């Protein structure tokens, strides 16, 4: 085995140090065939999660929080990897907002304006090809070491070279570390080589740009793990307002105030942040209603959210997202664009929006209306079974033909979507077999490299939101042809040459007018002309908070996250 990365993967698998998802993602990234990855997963011992995670303190038992200095966030699950340079998990990015900092952050609920974080100020040259950041002079990591310009460069070098899931956030603009120039201890310059108007947006993403202590990297690196990924999967050493003091996968995490935080602690702030894992929907709601929990972000049933709106002890904050939900269509098995247009007319859009999501979703195409270059006139299908049947039969299918629809067995909403679609397909004289599987199977089917003939005709419950406000970043992972079978999200093996040409131009657009023109045609290709997916719509996100929580504001890109430093308990 010549590649040490593959040897290390096999070693971690045998030792049970990696989850099924981590084995899948890493194996795909290293180019291993799906059968090899599946054999690794099957051979791996049951993972003793707690043994690989530091546990310096136990998770406090729930207790009424009134007047307390602890903020308790109720989550539905833990997270196996909180390394900000490796994990694409929503929960790991939420953790990062407590313990790490980017150079800058999105300002309030804006997706295009910024406010300081590690950088106190920044400027770009005339053509946006060079960006210079002035860092806070007194920033320290949780290990007591200084966070200067060299430390930021070293941290981002790790980000680039580790090659984890969020690496494209930086490598689109900074493919190699030598583009980062340390001018002096508080000044870092990025020389990008061409105009990059989206660079600040990328550096404010919650996926990837966290600055990690280089000292902690070196201290915990090994020959097989030179970037200390094993350590940072369960531990965190950043410059953020809170330090991670306990991490127990199946119970939760505890964070405590970092006394030397460079922005200081004047005003009202929480002393402690607790993430408590509560898998049961009903229990999460009960903890919020009793005051034993302070918040839950997008992890309650829609019925519970509707009823909690009537509870005077809690606030339900609804906010627009940058996400879009859809079902993937298997382009080779559905044969032609006309067949995919036909099934697009057969999808039960109104029932999904009104009955399944009960208004917490609005119709949209592949780009949310909160993302730049969204086309307000984007083509949206309306359910028309006669038209649908005509298109499907005209492309060579016949009445009685059967199709397969894969969906998460543990997500009641997705099972209901599948059943509603099944009923429409049956009305047209066809049949739709629902394959109810666990979500890891959904993911392995989408990201895996098995040929289209081995995948179902439809894969439900998929969706995406961009890492930063950019439609190219939203679409490329899901619909570009180079995202087929190599760990990308183009699980339907869809290819459209005109789309590829336009996307190549959109990746390095010159101005907003050009991007608008390109994206208008791209959105029409993805909907009316040659649809690769059945678009449910754009989810409306929510966070439920106890009424005495102040300082919270949502952001359409920082979904399910919290501005921890600004939050406090009202007296």
pLDDT tens, position by position, 78-112: 888 999 999 988 899 999 999 999 999 999 999 99
Same domain? 437 vs 536 = yes
Tokens of 471: 């439609």
Tell me how crowded residue 6 is: count the other CB atoms within 10 A of its CB.
Answer: 16
Same domain? 412 vs 504 = yes
Same domain? 478 vs 445 = yes
Please identify which residue in the block is written with the tokens 């493919």.
Answer: 175
Question: What CATH number is associated with residue 526?
Answer: 3.10.105.10
| pLDDT the model gives residue 10 | 60
Same domain? 301 vs 423 = no
pLDDT of 14 over the 90 cut: no
**Short-list 538, 537, 535, CA closest to 344:** 535
pLDDT of 186 over the 60 cut: yes
d(CA 44, CA 26): 14
| pLDDT the model gives residue 89 | 86
Length of the chain: 571
Put residue 516 in one of left, alpha, beta given phi > 0 → left and psi -120 to 50 → alpha: alpha
Question: What CATH number is associated with residue 274?
Answer: 3.40.190.10
Domain total in the chain: 3
| pLDDT the model gives residue 474 | 97
**What is the end-to-end Cα distance of the chain in Å, rounded?**
62
pLDDT of 6 over the 60 cut: no
> How confident is the prediction for the chain on average, in pLDDT?
90
Tokens of 385: 């079974």
pLDDT tens, position by position, 258-310: 999 999 999 999 999 999 999 898 999 999 999 999 999 999 999 999 999 99
Tokens of 372: 């730049």
Same domain? 448 vs 515 = yes
Tokens of 1: 């085995």
Which H or E element spans position 35?
helix 34-43
In the DSSP assignment, the letter for residue 491 is T
d(CA 80, CA 52): 10
* Residue 84 maps to a domain: yes
* Residue 454 maps to a domain: yes
Same domain? 9 vs 23 = yes
pLDDT of 49 over the 50 cut: no
Cβ pair 50, 246 in contact under 8 A: no
* Residue 160 maps to a domain: no
Tokens of 55: 């546990």
Once rounded to an integer, what is the mean pLDDT over residues 226-254? 96
* 2-6, 24-28, 30-34, 76-80: least confidently modelled range: 2-6
d(CA 55, CA 52): 9
Domain that holds residue 1: 1-47
> Residue 64 — pLDDT band, cuts 50, 70, 90?
very low
Same domain? 354 vs 374 = yes
Query: pTM score, two decimals?
Result: 0.84
Non-local (6+) Cβ contacts of 390 within 8 A are 342
| pLDDT the model gives residue 26 | 55
pLDDT of 424 over the 70 cut: yes
Cβ pair 352, 420 in contact under 8 A: yes
- Looking at the chain, the whole-number percentage of residues with pLDDT higher than 90 is 81
d(CA 267, CA 212): 27
Same domain? 370 vs 490 = yes
pLDDT of 16 over the 90 cut: no
12, 32, 47 - which closes a domain: 47
| pLDDT the model gives residue 60 | 62
| pLDDT the model gives residue 337 | 97
More confident residue, 165 or 549: 549
**Short-list 473, 439, 371, CA closest to 166:** 473
Non-local (6+) Cβ contacts of 426 within 8 A are 432
Same domain? 468 vs 563 = no
More confident residue, 509 or 84: 84
Tokens of 187: 């000044």
Q: Could you give the strand order of the β-sheet that contains 130-135, starting from the edge strand earlier in sequence?
A: 119-124, 130-135, 187-191, 180-184
Phi, psi of 432, rounded to the nearest 5 degrees: -130, 115
d(CA 535, CA 537): 6
* Residue 217 maps to a domain: no
pLDDT tens, position by position, 364-418: 999 999 999 999 999 999 999 999 999 999 999 999 999 999 999 988 899 999 9
Tokens of 113: 């304006």
> Residue 66 — pLDDT band, cuts 50, 70, 90?
very low
The b-or-e profile of 343-356 (16+ CB within 10 A means b, else e) is: bbbbbbbebbbeeb
More confident residue, 156 or 44: 156
Pairing of strands 568-569, 549-550: antiparallel
d(CA 519, CA 169): 20
**Short-list 271, 279, 278, CA closest to 254:** 271
d(CA 339, CA 472): 26
Same domain? 246 vs 363 = no
d(CA 342, CA 353): 20
* Residue 405 maps to a domain: yes
DSSP for 498-522 reads HHHHHHHHHTT-SSHHHHHHHHHHH
d(CA 433, CA 406): 8
* Residue 117 maps to a domain: no
32, 47, 62 - which closes a domain: 47
Pairing of strands 458-464, 402-408: parallel
Cβ pair 57, 254 in contact under 8 A: yes
* Residue 257 maps to a domain: yes
* Residue 415 maps to a domain: yes
Q: Which residues pair with 436 in a beta bridge?
A: 407
Same domain? 450 vs 502 = yes
Phi, psi of 204, rounded to the nearest 5 degrees: -100, 5
Non-local (6+) Cβ contacts of 451 within 8 A are none
d(CA 224, CA 318): 45
Cβ pair 527, 366 in contact under 8 A: yes
| pLDDT the model gives residue 268 | 95
pLDDT tens, position by position, 310-323: 999 999 999 999 99
- Torsion sign over Cα 376, 510, 206, 464: positive
d(CA 426, CA 415): 16
d(CA 195, CA 405): 44
Same domain? 418 vs 527 = yes
d(CA 392, CA 337): 10
| pLDDT the model gives residue 59 | 65
């Amino acid at each position: 085995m010549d590649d040490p990365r593959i040897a290390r993967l096999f070693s971690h698998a045998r030792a049970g140090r990696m989850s099924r998802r981590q084995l899948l993602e890493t194996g795909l990234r290293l180019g291993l065939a799906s059968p090899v990855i599946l054999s690794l997963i099957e051979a791996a011992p049951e993972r003793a999660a707690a043994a690989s995670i530091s546990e310096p303190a136990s998770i406090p038992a729930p207790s009424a929080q009134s007047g307390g200095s602890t903020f308790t966030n109720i989550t539905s699950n833990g997270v196996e990897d909180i390394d900000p340079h490796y994990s694409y998990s929503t929960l790991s990015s939420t953790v990062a907002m407590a313990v790490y900092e980017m150079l800058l952050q999105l300002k309030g609920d804006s997706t295009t304006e910024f406010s300081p974080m590690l950088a106190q100020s920044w400027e770009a040259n005339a053509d946006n090809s060079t960006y210079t950041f002035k860092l806070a002079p007194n920033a320290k990591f949780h290990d007591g070491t200084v966070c200067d310009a060299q430390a930021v460069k070293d941290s981002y070098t790790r980000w680039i070279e580790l090659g984890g899931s969020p690496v494209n956030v930086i490598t689109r603009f900074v493919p190699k570390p030598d583009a980062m120039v340390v001018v002096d201890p508080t000044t870092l310059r990025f020389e990008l080589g061409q105009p990059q108007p989206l660079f600040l947006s990328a550096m404010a993403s919650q996926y990837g740009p966290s600055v990690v202590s280089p000292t902690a990297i070196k201290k915990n690196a090994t020959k097989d793990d030179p970037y200390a990924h094993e350590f940072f999967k369960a531990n965190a050493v950043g410059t953020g307002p809170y330090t991670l003091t306990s991490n127990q996968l199946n119970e939760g995490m505890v964070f405590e105030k970092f006394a030397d935080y460079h922005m200081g602690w004047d005003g009202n702030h929480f002393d402690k942040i607790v993430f408590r894992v509560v898998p049961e929907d009903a229990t999460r709601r009960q903890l919020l209603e009793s005051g034993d929990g302070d918040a839950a972000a997008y992890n309650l049933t829609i019925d519970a959210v509707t009823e909690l709106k009537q509870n005077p002890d809690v606030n339900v904050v609804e906010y627009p997202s940058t996400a879009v939900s859809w079902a993937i269509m298997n382009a080779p098995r559905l044969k032609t664009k006309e067949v995919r247009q036909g099934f697009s007319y057969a999808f039960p859009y109104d029932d999904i929006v009104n009955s399944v999501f009960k208004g917490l979703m609005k119709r949209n195409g592949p780009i949310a209306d909160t993302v730049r270059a969204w086309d307000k006139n984007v083509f949206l299908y309306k359910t028309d079974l006669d038209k649908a049947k005509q298109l499907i039969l005209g492309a060579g299918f016949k009445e009685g033909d059967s199709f397969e629809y894969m969906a998460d067995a543990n997500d009641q909403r997705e099972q209901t979507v599948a059943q509603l679609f099944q009923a429409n397909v049956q009305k047209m004289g066809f049949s739709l077999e629902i394959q109810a599987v666990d979500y890891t199977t959904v993911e392995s089917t989408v990201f895996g490299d098995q040929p289209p003939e081995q995948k179902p005709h439809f894969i439900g419950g998929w969706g995406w939101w961009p890492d930063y406000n950019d439609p190219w970043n939203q679409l490329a992972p899901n619909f570009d042809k180079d995202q087929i079978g190599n760990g990308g999200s183009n699980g339907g093996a869809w290819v459209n040459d005109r789309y590829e040409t336009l996307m190549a131009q959109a990746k390095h657009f010159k101005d907003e007018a050009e991007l608008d023109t390109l994206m208008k045609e791209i959105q029409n290709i993805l909907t009316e002309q040659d649809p690769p997916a059945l678009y449910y719509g754009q989810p409306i996100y929510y966070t439920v908070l106890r009424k005495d929580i102040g300082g919270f504001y949502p952001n359409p890109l920082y979904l399910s996250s919290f501005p921890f430093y600004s939050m406090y308990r009202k007296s």
